[in-house]
Amino acid sequence: MITVTSAETVPCISGFHALSDSLRMRVLDCLRTQEMCVCDLCTLLEVSQSKLSFHLKVLKDANLVRARPQGRWTYYSLNLAQFVTLEQYLAEFRRFSPILPDRGPKVNAESPCP
């Protein structure tokens, strides 16, 4: 197995890891239209603050959300620039891939695969 890690892919690895959890995706959906306080996110998502804090830390470490302390609360919002970085990373696969998109079943009499 070949492992390639460059300075460009490291932020993408943590970003895609952060996106791989359903609760974190729900958090991002909540933040899609507005900045939210952690207490409001707990209520909306019906999770404990300790569980949510863990997932918010993963999202923050992946640079997908920003945290803004105000008084005794912390408000979270999306960091759209990081989403653009992930989109650009994926776009490179589409742009430079020698493999064309699947156009339906291929019939080859010599192939053992259906």
Cβ neighbours for 83, distance < 8 A, ≥ 6 positions apart? 64
In a domain, 83, yes or no: yes
| pLDDT tens digits along 26-76 | 999 999 999 999 999 999 999 999 999 999 999 999 999 999 999 998 999
Task: Tell me the pLDDT band of 25, cut-offs 50, 70 and 90.
Answer: very high
The 10 Å Cβ neighbour count of residue 56 is 20
In a domain, 85, yes or no: yes
Q: What DSSP designation does 63 have?
A: T
In a domain, 75, yes or no: yes
d(C-alpha 96, C-alpha 50), whole Å: 43
* Global pTM value: 0.75
Residue 27's domain spans which residues?
Answer: 9-92
| pLDDT tens digits along 82-94 | 999 999 888 887 7
Q: How many domains does the chain have?
A: 1
CATH number for the domain harbouring residue 18: 1.10.10.10
d(C-alpha 38, C-alpha 44), whole Å: 10
In a domain, 72, yes or no: yes
d(C-alpha 79, C-alpha 102), whole Å: 34
